[in-house]
């Protein structure tokens, strides 16, 4: 099955991806304002989000669902450039980012 076609035909999935994308972009903008990382680094960041059922990848300002059977954990564990891994709800993620920014 074409993954992109699935996402286009699944409004619930699109809404979830959209909310995650907005949360990530808002959080990355907050991090960028601290000046801790270069603009180039922040623009090229890749994030992986895990939940009980799915994996999501944020890259090039887009969120993509990655089915577990297509996620190559071996490549991931061997250090392909991934900048964040976590299991957090949207609210927990925002709290962690806010807390990290306050402590810089």
**Alpha carbons 23 and 46: distance in angstroms, whole number:** 14
State the number of CA atoms in the 13 A half-sphere of 92 facing the CB. 6
**Alpha carbons 95 and 45: distance in angstroms, whole number:** 20
pLDDT digits (tens, 9 = 90+) for 64-81: 887 767 666 555 555 555
Low-confidence ranges of the chain (pLDDT < 70): 1-16, 51-53, 68, 70-94, 96-97, 100-101, 103-104
User: Domain extents for the chain?
Assistant: 3-102
Please count the other Cβ atoms lying within 10 Å of the Cβ belonging to residue 49: 22
**Alpha carbons 88 and 99: distance in angstroms, whole number:** 14
pTM reported for the whole predicted model? 0.54
């Amino acid at each position: 099955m074409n993954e992109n076609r699935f996402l286009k035909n699944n409004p619930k999935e699109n809404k979830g991806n959209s909310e995650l994308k907005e949360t990530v972009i808002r959080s990355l903008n907050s991090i960028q304002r601290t000046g801790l990382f270069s603009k180039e680094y922040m623009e090229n960041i890749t994030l992986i989000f895990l939940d009980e059922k799915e994996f999501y990848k944020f890259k090039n300002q887009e969120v993509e669902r990655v089915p577990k059977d297509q996620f190559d954990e071996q490549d991931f564990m061997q250090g392909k450039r991934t900048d964040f891994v976590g299991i957090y709800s949207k609210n927990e993620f925002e709290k962690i980012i806010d807390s990290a920014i306050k402590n810089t």
